[in-house]
Structure 1
Amino acid sequence: MRNAGQNESDVIFILLGFSDYPEIEIPLFLIFLVIYMITVVGNLGMIVIIRINPKLHSPMYFFLSHLSFLDFCYSSVVTPKLLQILVVEDRTITFAPCIAQYSFAVTCVVTESFLLSAMAYDRFVAICNPLLYIIVMSQKRCILMVTAVYTWGIIISIIFTSSLLILSFSGTNIINNFSCEYSAILSVSVSDKHVTETIFFIFANLNTLVTLTIVLTSYIFIFITVLKIKSASGRYKAFSTCASHLTGVTIFFGTLLFLYCVPSSKGSWLLIRVTTVFYTIVIPMLNPLIYNLRNKDVKETIKKLTEVPTRWHSG
């Protein structure tokens, strides 16, 4: 493929990041480094805890382990490059790595959005049809659901990436962001963007419509069922089983919708960067805390793991 008469290897993107605020780059590097370390430990730790604790071998935690995996992957796709451009003068990234970063990021985002929908359906079955829960959410069905969401995420990533590959770029392209994000890549193209924008509009809106419909429908039935419970303690117990997921869904979709509602104008680029930071770096760190902050089984497992060295030392 050729871009504006050049080979792919000749096309270079310059990630501006936060270069227009040089005085805060080092503090941002330290903050993002700490956040990334917490994200890696938190999400990989959750996967380990879920695997080793038999009490957590349920559909909800099966989905949660994959959510942690996706958050780890998504953060790892974006954050290392961000940390690099904050401390080195060379902010360039060639065509292939830029497109690869975008492709992997899309896979993670789309897969996570449908995984959150699957988790909403899981909560719907658990609260509205508890007697059939084991049958409906069987291990086989859970595996099929997870396989389906990963497959769809990869398909959408291929479609979106292919739509960018038909565009042409000049030799050097300045991206006013810290990652190879869709609107930023699109803004530096020198060719007609109509086909690419149409493809993105159709599939992005389709994904959003399907996932939000599943989530909202599930929670409408959940709320109706919870309101029918006579005892206050029963209502609280039923609602608490989905409170963490509802919080995570609200933050995830709320930030995503806000990000793509912001117009790509010069005055909005700072807002886009800040929102992208929250979406790509902060949310993957928050998810382990949101879903497990009040979980007794998780706390007990962590406590046992942290007590092992102490017992060995005392022995």
Structure 2
Amino acid sequence: MLLPWLILIPFIGGFLCWQTERFGVKVPRWIALITMGLTLALSLQLWLQGGYSLTQSAGIPQWQSEFDMPWIPRFGISIHLAIDGLSLLMVVLTGLLGVLAVLCSWKEIEKYQGFFHLNLMWILGGVIGVFLAIDMFLFFFFWEMMLVPMYFLIALWGHKASDGKTRITAATKFFIYTQASGLVMLIAILALVFVHYNATGVWTFNYEELLNTPMSSGVEYLLMLGFFIAFAVKMPVVPLHGWLPDAHSQAPTAGSVDLAGILLKTAAYGLLRFSLPLFPNASAEFAPIAM
């Protein structure tokens, strides 16, 4: 039951930050710090339980802990969370950098403290959701959700030397790039689900079941490209990096910590967790081109 709390604590903490600003500008800061401290402590508790592995047996991850609750049963969508050695490393990193992001912004952010920390906490909650979700619909939900608060961080609390128009332009460019690439990945996810349904007669977004989806080499290649484009934009890979210089230069310090230290890593995680296992042959064929 610890896995849902790793996601819920940042969301609850962010909401509390927003609502308690009326009691003083320092209150949201302390709530945010405590929130990320609790998240880091929970992730370290999971770490100390041991038994984690970075290896895979027969292409199936060795989950150390799982949480599964039906969400939209008709289409095989569930709130399915799981953690192994790879995702645990990323969650611990997120908790640590989350604490550092709060401390970096301690004196920097002067206006709308509550709303700032709401967005910061929700970015971190969404990122942890990306690292824990093994339902493809849930993964996509968190993948897109974490982008909205990042837009506000750049647009509202960006570089102090820049005017509002410059910050909004940088935030909008970031949002358009990531949303457009996210749409490509959504199409690929839905196509993969349809291919699986045609082969088995079962609707499912479950990652482990989709691993066994039979498909032609051409279909596999196209679906792999859908995932790769989304991850390449977020990583980012040339020539899909146009949003990065503006976003980094205009983001506040905490936003840059999140962007460089966490958000960009979600793309590398997505490649390792989803693209390679789901489309092994197409990935191997495409690797020389990607390199």
TM-score computed with the length of structure 1 as normaliser: 0.40
Task: Give the greater-gyration-radius structure (CA).
Answer: 1
